[in-house]
Structure 1
Amino acid sequence: MDLALRVLVERADLHGWLTQEDVLEVFPMAASDNDQLSHLIAALRLKGIQVFTQEKTDEPDVELVLGEPEALLTFEYVASDDTVSLYLKETALTPLLSLEEELGLAKRIAHARQAKRELMRIIPGERDLESCKELDALIQDGRLAREALIKANTRLVVSVARRYLGRGVPFLDLIQEGNLGLMKAVEKFEYQRGFRFSTYATWWIRQGIVRAIADQGRTIRVPVHMVDRLRMVHKASRELEQKIGRTPTAQELAERLDLDSSKLNWLLQVTQQPVSLESPVSGEDDAELGMYVEDITSPSPAQITYENMLRERMDEVLGTLTPREARILRLRFGLGQDRPYTLEEVGQKFGLTRERIRQIESKALRRLRQPSRARLLRDYS
């Protein structure tokens, strides 16, 4: 929480004030814990920072997607096969809820939950049929209210999903994951707390989208908590760049986040995406990235040249021995073979005992140590 407070204080110094949305963006876990959120806001106000909340306003909590309301309601320019635009058009036709309408739907959902619990506790024969029908009617009414609350806030899902474009997950998939988070928010929302539903739902929507990006957005999966930390790093980098007028250095960013430089460098390395070796190279016909990447597992041209010269010189030196001596040395040391051979294996090939092979090998090695022959291999020792 100390790190979140520092980030919020610096943001307040930059803008002069904060909104509740700013607080939840830096410290999203507070959305599910109203006591923690209240404590955080109180701590900011003690520092003289004005925090605007949305509990007492009837204005909608989310900006209309695509800018002005008319941009959503007029789609003559949209192709009929554009799935995203058709979905946006459908969400635009659903009016936003006033505070009273939102509370009314939330109460109907809460009554339906209570009716469902009572219905499950009923022992057959203890209640009359009329009472069961009344409870069932409340449950059905709650389902309708749930659908209405979800549908009225689909525009909020689109607004949140737009912030995560370009993270490796298609826009429609982001919306779908956000809708799942919206459904969870409807199930867990407690209107008695006094918060607007959109404020509460934003955290659940964001969690669903962030988890989807962590699971699907990268070739190598990054844990959800790491995605949140990376998001905080990028946000701090943007705010610091706006404040100082240039791209911050790694040291400045580490000081801003109160992290060790090594830890920050490790976090930045996590953000790197793997690139396919088959990726085309711009400006080159049929050229792929793999053509320009060194294969460290293969020997270099210099190493190949060195080995060829050594092989030629070895053949020259072994040519000064008898054919049998040269053959035995090649087998014993694996020269031109797939592996070195033991004395027993070489003896079987020549029809000699292993002791005789050892004697021939020793004699051949002594001859190779003579200065006239050793001089030829001195440059390769």
Structure 2
Amino acid sequence: MKQKAASKTVRAKKRSKKPAAQPAGHAAFPAPPPPKPAPAPESPEILDEEPEQEQSRYDADSAIKLYLKEIGEVKLLTPKEEIELAERIKKGDKKAREEMIKANLRLVVKIAHDFENFGLPLLDLISEGNIGLIKAVERFDPSKGSKLSTYAAWWIKQSIKRALANQAKTIRLPVHLVDKIAQMRRVAMRLQEILGREPTDEELAQEMGISPARIAQMRMAGIRPASLDAPIGDDETNTFSDVIPDENAPTPYEDLEEETIKSMLRELLRSLEPREAAILTYRFGLDGGPERTLEEVGLKFNVTRERIRQIQNIALRKLRKMIEKLEQKKE
């Protein structure tokens, strides 16, 4: 009996030394310290009766509290400090990189909370978000006109979403296939709006640049596109399609650049004849709508498609000259 009791005590001590899970450590930012191991109880039977799941949850909560306390002591950056650090980071200053990362760790925690109950513990979500933050800091360029918090939020969310798509137990397909199915669903919805009916495999294949056989395989896969609408999380207010990242989605800088171009184009259109501006807007979907064919534009404006082509070319030449003048002024 004494030998068995001693054996239990040894096992109890070994279990008490096992640290809780925590965000992956990185040299550039503080990793939350592991919770202090509970002292071995006098009676091994008491430890055996304690549910390991509750202990693990307690350890995780303690680790998060310690982590939040540590990063909460780091002061936030002013816009001027942010720009100065970004310039130093461009020159390879590792200390500036570390300072920028530490000052924005609270943003990661805030975003990570939005993805709780999707299949990964909060500690893991924070770890994945930190990876996204590091990428954002390394790529951030304040001259583009955006704040780091705005720019980094995109990278943090993408990193977390990718981890959820890879780790969620409900999805049993490779993540690249899940992404492809999500893309097929989006393309199918867009084509259905244009065609007024469900697109065929051939139409989907042509739009996506893959074979009809591949489309058929994706339809027959374990997860159909419609199943991406299945609710997930304890409150079932989100779906898998909400957390699967779109690899074809534009980056923050691409979004900013596109918006700048659209703004400039709207200014230039005001210099055209109202009819010319209206035709270009309708033809190329500059009002947010889809692009139209010459024939569709002709029907709307009650002229032939050839006449629309002529007006379009005249208007485009005018725009080209305006842009050339603007470029000359910049030089």
TM-score by length of 2: 0.38
* Larger CA Rg, structure 1 vs 2: 1
TM-score, normalization: structure 1? 0.33
